[in-house]
Structure 1
Amino acid sequence: MTGSVWLLSGGMMEKSISADVGQLLAGEGSAPLAHTITLRYGLEDKPSPTAAILFGAQHVLIMFSAMVASPLVIGQLLGLPAELRAALITGVMLGCGVGTLISALGVGWVGARLPLLLGAYTVYIGPVVQIAKTESLGAAAGALLIGGVVLLAISPIIGKIRGLFPPIVVGSLLIITGLTLIKIAMNVAFGVNTSYFGQPITVICLLASIVLITVIAALGSQLVRSLSILIALVAIYIVGLLIGLGNFANVAAAPWFRVPSFLPYGIAWPGVGGLTTIIIYQVVAAIYTMSITIALCVMIQVEPTERRIRGAVAGDGLGSMIAVVFGGVPLISYDQNVGAISLTGVASRYVVAISGAMLVCMAFLPKIGAVVGMIPPFMLGGTLVFMFGMIAVVGIKIVSQALEEQRDVLILAASVGLSMVVNLAPAQVFEVFPAALRILAADGIVVGILVAVLLNLMLPPGKRAVAG
């Protein structure tokens, strides 16, 4: 294994990712995949308690800004009072924490028992706000709760269609995901739609984060390499406080302890239209979770079994239901985690379980969450850019071993190309779609997945790829 991916891992305990999973995905007689990353801690490894806590905190810091973004935006768009905005955030944090514990450790047939973290899915912002405005916030909660039940119900079906995702589709998905998320990370890094947009400090933080992570990952010891994201985040955090960017008012206002409220908005029937929209979104979310689960399995060299995929989708459903009944929004297995694992080489599900426990504690201790979130999100943007770039790198590595036939080249070109068209197109382009489908059609990742899967089913095998 050569190149930067090797440098970002390293160590005596490393476990190389070999061809076994590639063989399982590709089918009998297909060429195996080469190594994608090198792990320091595998799925069932248990780091020392101190290291595990640090690794767990690293995951929490990575996902925190994205996790609270959805409830903050929904609260702002609906003009909710402070107590209901707090309920939104608390519900999401509690659901993320419990859902992550279920995903990592498993409860019966629910949970993938993989290092998957759950986070709020921003695509639900539109329909939640629409239902809340036309009906009520209680009706939105009713639709989302039924949506969670739907995820649980369809999870066995989703687990049975994993064969639709051979290596070329998985690799294309990771490239699409990485490139799509880099655009989002860029907006965060440059402070788009905030008072910091256009200020030199945003560019300085972006470049400093990337340089810092690269130096740490390339030159640090084995443990330091695995904590490269945490070290960079803490360094940027301290700098932010020193130059006066910390929001101490929110910290002072946050209570030390709060018990999450059960159904803080009540619950009501959402109407057929609102419920149908949420169910469509949940089906798409299930397919996306399956895609991320398969990609993660490829990366950490475990078999993407029907049980694991079914458990991941069911875990999303149960986690979403927990979040909703305590005032939050639906959750999904985060693709950010794939980038974090590819960068740090830490794939232990027990580390992720610690992250889940931390999130549960933060749901009851709002003061801690306020401290974590006291610096502007743009200061974390450089870390996100680097991490999402790593997702694309893993996808490129998988694809480079899967381009055996001309059809594979076509699948890659069409899926990545169309997803980028969607990502770069003006918002007005998608106004021709019905409201229920507009957000899905405007999602580059969803479009890329559908194109890759459909072309994989439609294009006949046979022609070898053109060399050079």
Structure 2
Amino acid sequence: MTDTSIGTPDQLRDPNYLPPLVKSVPLGIQHVLAMFVSNVTPAIIVCGAAGFGFGSNSPDFPQMLYMIQMSMFFAGIATLIQTIGIGPVGAKLPIVQGTSFAFIPIMIPLVAGKGVDAIGILMGGIVVGGLFHACLGFFIGRIRFALPPLVTGLVVTMIGLALVRVGIQYAAGGVPAIGTEEYGSLQNWFVALVVIVVTLGLKFFTRGMLSVSAVLLGLVAGYLVAIPLGMVNFGNIGRAAPLALPDFGHFGFEFSIAAIIGFCLMGFVSAVETVGDVSGITKGGAGREATDKEIQGATFADGVGTAVAGLFGALPNTSFSQNVGLIAMTGVMSRHVVTIGAVFLILCGLVPKVGAAISTVPIEVLGGGVIVMFGMVVAAGVSMLSDVSWTRRNMVIFAISLSLGLGLQLEPGALQYVPGTLKVLLTSGILPAAFLAIVLNLLLPEDLPGEATEEISGGMASHGAKPAK
């Protein structure tokens, strides 16, 4: 329900309206709570994949802490670019930006087991990919035809499928623990299941802030259970500085062909996702379609925010879909409310002790949370696919793209004779699946011979049935 005490219906639909601060501040913080866990999780996953030590005495700890800190800081900066705008850059809408999950399957093969020295490869790709992403703003409206729900739904589903394995590994004890006696222990799974159960309970049996912050509160519950079990080490907090500023070129820059191609291609996918989020915000919050200027500005901001983040050692940014749903739920379209949330994120990013506190969360607790989040990514992809008319043509496109994309990701050894750069791109799974889906969708005729009025439903042909509209 929309709270009319915040303003009149016309005011609530106006992006330029500022509700009273007593209402605006809690609403802004609510936006941060809705995306907070999802925003910092990619940094932890990438550091884990690179082989960073998670203990308070690990020499890699300051590097992981810095990346967590920058995830918050540059999510806030990118959000400000969207809400306030810099010339044509920024939609001037209540768009919340955050670290993107979509790029994780690209980043993991680039840094797997290579330590902190490999992070520079990511930063080079992020900067170039961000600039490419920004350039898409000039013609994003003209290329949307190449990405119907069949393609975008497949890509989102592939992103989720690529990540669910990470969630299970984390819940069982984390990648470094694989093969040890502790890996997959009952204690690890008990803590992870506490997170899942509490998250589900709050999501479906409460309303308002409790429901919106279900994942965050589920993690808090798991954290509280883990403390008496001796799974939490507070030493990290004491080692963190009280204040730290972004450091230009913190991880250095290395320009790898594989990284640049991967980030540019995923930037294309991310740009289309942002277009969908902008449309969702204007429809859910103002009951209208997004203008070309808003879509262009949002795409510019997406790319600029990513490129700037890469310059200082942060990961790619994109619009956060969960906050789109939050706007539809509250009915508050004010961009100034989201600006308040962005300022809060920036302040958190300047205080390393906040990142250090986040780093004390046991990997098993985080695993329970990401199982839910990654599962929701898969569910979002399936939801997008529900808009597809499942003709035999579309089923063939989906089947081939999914089989090759997911298969290469699950069995990278099948490409042992493929050159390094191409192997990294193909084993990501997402890129070959997306490429095949786009190309086949553009090349194959809309109607296969004898299938003009035939649609597939439930795996069986419904002969003579009319295609769904």
| TM-score computed with the length of structure 1 as normaliser | 0.75
Cα displacement (A) at 1:171: 2.7
Q: Do the aligned partners of 1:185 and 1:382 also contact (CA within 8 Å) in 2?
A: yes
Unaligned runs of 5+ in 2: 4-11, 284-288, 461-469
Change (3 A) 1:275 1:226: closer
Give the Cα separation in 1 of the matches to 2:122 and 2:434. Answer: 28
1:292 paired with 2:291, answer no
Give the Cα separation in 2 of the matches to 1:401 and 1:352. Answer: 30
Q: Do the aligned partners of 2:50 and 2:115 also contact (CA within 8 Å) in 1?
A: no
Change (3 A) 1:48 1:265: closer
Which residue of structure 2 aligns with residue 218 of structure 1? Answer: 204
Give the Cα separation in 1 of the matches to 2:251 and 2:63. Answer: 8
Q: C-alpha offsets along residues 111-167 of structure 1, whole Å, 9 cap, x if unaligned?
A: 354644332644346657989969x95x98667545543433344244531111223
Unaligned runs of 5+ in 1: 1-10, 14-40
Cα displacement (A) at 1:72: 6.4
Cα displacement (A) at 1:221: 2.9
Q: 1:228 aligns with which of 187, 191, 214?
A: 214
Q: C-alpha offsets along residues 302-336 of structure 1, whole Å, 9 cap, x if unaligned?
A: 4576555544443343223322333x0441427xx
1:110 paired with 2:89, answer yes
Cα displacement (A) at 1:228: 2.0
Q: Do the aligned partners of 1:124 and 1:330 also contact (CA within 8 Å) in 2?
A: no
Give the Cα separation in 2 of the matches to 1:115 and 1:374. Answer: 30
1:331 paired with 2:321, answer no
Q: 1:187 aligns with which of 169, 186, 211?
A: 169
SS in 1 for 2:99: strand
Q: 1:386 aligns with which of 350, 372, 388?
A: 372
Which residue of structure 2 aligns with residue 21 of structure 1? Answer: none
Give the Cα separation in 2 of the matches to 1:417 and 1:299. Answer: 31
Which residue of structure 1 aligns with residue 424 of structure 2? Answer: 439
Change (3 A) 1:260 1:394: closer
1:426 paired with 2:405, answer no
1:57 paired with 2:29, answer no
Q: C-alpha offsets along residues 404-430 of structure 1, whole Å, 9 cap, x if unaligned?
A: 53322323333333333233x233223
Cα displacement (A) at 1:220: 1.4
Give the Cα separation in 2 of the matches to 1:207 and 1:42. Answer: 40
Q: Do the aligned partners of 1:339 and 1:387 also contact (CA within 8 Å) in 2?
A: no
Q: Do the aligned partners of 2:241 and 2:352 also contact (CA within 8 Å) in 1?
A: yes
Which residue of structure 1 aligns with residue 7 of structure 2? Answer: none
1:366 paired with 2:346, answer no
RMSD: 3.9
Change (3 A) 1:436 1:306: farther
Letter in 2 for 1:169: V
Give the Cα separation in 2 of the matches to 1:81 and 1:394. Answer: 35
Q: Do the aligned partners of 2:408 and 2:414 also contact (CA within 8 Å) in 1?
A: no
Give the Cα separation in 1 of the matches to 2:13 and 2:440. Answer: 34
Q: Do the aligned partners of 1:285 and 1:332 also contact (CA within 8 Å) in 2?
A: no
Change (3 A) 1:414 1:310: farther
Change (3 A) 1:384 1:308: farther
After TM superposition, list the pairs within 5 Å mapping 1:53-202 onto structure 2. 53-70=29-46, 76=52, 88-112=67-91, 113=93, 115-119=95-99, 121-122=103-104, 123-124=106-107, 127=110, 145-195=127-177, 196-202=182-188
Give the Cα separation in 2 of the matches to 1:131 and 1:197. Answer: 22
The percentage of counterpart residues that share the same residue type is: 24
Q: Do the aligned partners of 1:160 and 1:306 also contact (CA within 8 Å) in 2?
A: no
SS in 1 for 2:89: coil
Q: 2:446 aligns with which of 452, 455, 461?
A: 461
Give the Cα separation in 1 of the matches to 2:220 and 2:13. Answer: 25
Letter in 2 for 1:446: L
After TM superposition, list the pairs within 5 Å mapping 1:332-351 onto structure 2. 332-333=317-318, 337-338=320-321
Q: Do the aligned partners of 2:171 and 2:189 also contact (CA within 8 Å) in 1?
A: yes
Cα displacement (A) at 1:197: 2.2
SS in 1 for 2:416: helix
Cα displacement (A) at 1:370: 0.9
SS in 2 for 1:466: strand
Letter in 1 for 2:363: P
SS in 2 for 1:118: strand
Which residue of structure 2 aligns with residue 16 of structure 1? Answer: none
Q: C-alpha offsets along residues 23-42 of structure 1, whole Å, 9 cap, x if unaligned?
A: xxxxxxxxxxxxxxxxxx99
Q: C-alpha offsets along residues 380-404 of structure 1, whole Å, 9 cap, x if unaligned?
A: 2222222332333333333233225
Give the Cα separation in 2 of the matches to 1:103 and 1:210. Answer: 33
Q: C-alpha offsets along residues 354-393 of structure 1, whole Å, 9 cap, x if unaligned?
A: 5543332222110111112211132022222223323333
Give the Cα separation in 2 of the matches to 1:82 and 1:445. Answer: 30
SS in 2 for 1:317: helix
Change (3 A) 1:145 1:168: closer
Q: Do the aligned partners of 2:134 and 2:303 also contact (CA within 8 Å) in 1?
A: yes
| TM-score computed with the length of structure 2 as normaliser | 0.74
Cα displacement (A) at 1:249: 0.7
Cα displacement (A) at 1:230: 2.7
Which residue of structure 1 aligns with residue 6 of structure 2? Answer: none
Q: Do the aligned partners of 2:130 and 2:316 also contact (CA within 8 Å) in 1?
A: no
Change (3 A) 1:380 1:343: farther
Change (3 A) 1:278 1:417: closer
After TM superposition, list the pairs within 5 Å mapping 1:315-330 onto structure 2. 315-326=301-312, 328-330=313-315
Which residue of structure 2 aligns with residue 282 of structure 1? Answer: 263
Q: Do the aligned partners of 2:231 and 2:362 also contact (CA within 8 Å) in 1?
A: yes
